[in-house]
Structure 1
Amino acid sequence: MNSLERVLAALQNQAADRPALLLNAGLYGARLTGATLVDHYRDPAVYAEGQIAILETFGPDLLLSPFALAGLGASFGSQVSVPKRQPPNVSVFAAASAEAALRLPLPDVDSAPGILYLRESIRILAGKYPGRVPVIGLLVSPMDLPPLIIGLEAWLDALLFQPEVAKALADRLTPFIVALGKAMLGDGATALALTANLSNRFMVPAQVVEGLGRPSLKQALAELPGPVILHHGGCPLLAHLADFTGHANVVGFVMDAGEDLGAARRVLGPGPVVLGNLSGPALAGLQPEEVRTQCDLALAQRGGDHQFILATCGADIPLDTPPECITVITDAVCRAGGVPA
C-alpha cells in the first residue's frame, strides 16, 4: 500500500498493511537539508525540500505544511522573528487589544506574503506526490487566531471581560480562516488540521466554551469544504473530548502526549481517526529504547482499532533529536504490521 491508501484505510475503518504514521517534523527538515531556518521559513521550495527529506529518511505517511502559524499574525501586521533553533514566533503584536484588532483590515489570502509561503509549500508537496502521499494544511481556528494578532493575555482579557468584543472579533476572523482553508484545499491539501485551544475548557472557563468557543468552531467547520483534523494544540484533550464531537467535516483528533488512545476511542465511538500520542518535543531527551517503549504502549492502546494513526504531537520535533529516536517510530509501525521497515 502507498501512504494515501494507508490513510484512506484508516478513515474508512479498513485494515491496512501497517498503521499509518504522522511526524510533526517541519522544523527537522531543515536539519536534513542543512538549510538555515530563515530560508526554511521564508522560501516554500526550501521548506518542501525539507519535507521531501523527511519522507525519504523516515517514511511517514503524511506531509505537513509549515507549522509556522506566526505568519498568520504577520499577515495582520504582527512582527515575526525566527529563532536559531525554533520556528518563527510573533515578537510584536499588530494590535494591543481586541477592540483595536477589529479595526485591522483582513488580509488577502491570495497576496499576503506569509500566507503565500504556506500555500505554495502545499502546492509544491501536493504536486510532488499526487495520489501517493497526503498533505495536511496546518491552520488555526478563529478562536486561536487572536493570540497571534494581539497576544494571549489581551485575548483572554476580552474573552473574560468583554465577551461582546470577543465575539465581534471571532466573527470577523471566521471568514478569513474559512477563505484560507478553502484556498489550502484548492492548493492540494488533502485535509486541514486546526488547533482549537481557546475552545478547550482546559484553557478557558465553561461559559467561554459554551458561549463562543463551540459556536465559533462549529461555524468555521461547517463552512470548510473538506476534511478537518482537530489538534490538541498543546492542551490536554481527552477530558474535554466530548465538547469537540458532532461538528461537520471533522475526521480525526490529535491527542495530547501520553493520553490514553483507547479511552479516546471509547469517548468518540466509531468514525473519527484517533492520532497520537508521542511527544515530539520530548524526543530530543530520550534514548531510542525509551521511544520504542512509548510506541509499543500507544500501539497497545490502539488494540485492533483500524481508525488510528501513530503520531507525534505537541510542537515540532526538535533539531537536536537523534535520528535514531525517529527511526524507531517508523520501525514500530512496520513491526506492528509485520512489514519491512
Structure 2
Amino acid sequence: MKKVNPILIDTYKREHTYLRISLTERCNLRCTYCMPAEGIQLSPKSHIMSFDEIYTIAKTFVDHGVTKIRLTGGEPLVRKDAHIILEKLATLPVELALTTNAVNLERHIETLKNCHIKNINVSLDSLNAEKFKEITRRDYFDKVYNNILSLVAEGFNVKINAVLIKGFNDNEIIDFIELTKTLPVTVRFIEFMPFDGNKWDIKKMVSLKEILDITTNSFSKEKLIRLDDAKNDTSKNYKIKGYKGSFAIISSVTNPFCDSCNRLRLTANGHLKNCLFSAEESDLLTALRAGKSIDTIIEKAIRLKAKMRGGMDTLEKLKTPDLHSKNRSMITIGG
C-alpha cells in the first residue's frame, strides 16, 4: 500500500489520499443550490489552471500519497481541452473518476474508456422534466437521462447525485429508489448544504432520518438492507432486497463524517481548500507559476484543517449566515 507523506496528514491524524480537482467555474446548467440567480463573477481566463498546471499539481499530490483524483467543475466537460486533461492525468498511478451533469457526456465516452475511468457521478435532482428545468434553469432532462442509460449500457459504475430540497423534490425519494429496481446504479441523496448565494435554510433540508422514515414507510424493514460502507465513505449505503442497484445518503449537515475525512479540493483557479465548508484557501497556482515549491503551502493548509465542517461544529454555527456566506458559491468550489 502506498505510504502517505506526513504533509498530507493533519493534526487529527487524518490522511488525505483523495483530491478533487475543479477544471472550470463554467457550467451549462444553472442549478439553484449551486449558482446564485444573478450568476457569478468568473475568474479571468489567465487565472485558471492550464492542463499542464493541473497535471503538475496533481502529480505533486500523487507523489505524496494521493491515490484517487475526481474531476469536477462547474461542468468539467465544457472545457475544450478536457480530453487532454483526462489523458494526461490517466498516466498517473491513481484512480481517476469524474463528476458531471451529463449534458454533453456522449461526446466523451470513448475518451473515458481509453483513460480507464470507470466511476462516473451524475448530478440529477429530479426525474420530472419540468422540475429539472426549474432547478437547472435549462431544458436538458431527456439528454441527461439518456446519457445515464448509455453509461450503464457501456458498463460504467454510475452514481446519481440528488440534492434534496424540502417542498421541491423530497416527494421523489421513492421514485429515485425505484430506479434501482432495474438499473445497477447507486442513487445518492445529498442534504442541502449552505454556500454563498444559494439561499440556504435549514428548514429546506431533508435529513437522513427523514429519508429513512419515508423509505421504511414504503418498504418493509425486512426489505431495507443496510450495506457496508467503504473506508472513508461519505455516505451511508442501503438497498432494497431484490433490486439491482442501491441508494445512499450523504448527511454532511445532520451526521457529518469529518472524523474520517480524507478529501482535499483544488479550485479551477488553483486554490487548495482543506474542507468544503471552510472559507479558507491556499493559493498553489501563484507559487507554481513563480517557480516555487508548493509542498510547504500544502502542508500548512492541511495542518490548519478544522476538526469539523470548517470550524462550524454545531448546527447553530452552521445556521449563522456570517460564517457560511463567506465561502464561495458551490460552482466555483467544485462539486
Shorter-chain TM-score bucket reads 0.3 to 0.5
TM-score by length of 1: 0.41
Which of the two has greater helix per residue?
A: 1
- Higher relative contact order, structure no. (Cα contacts within 8 Å, ≥ 6 residues apart): 2
TM-score by length of 2: 0.42
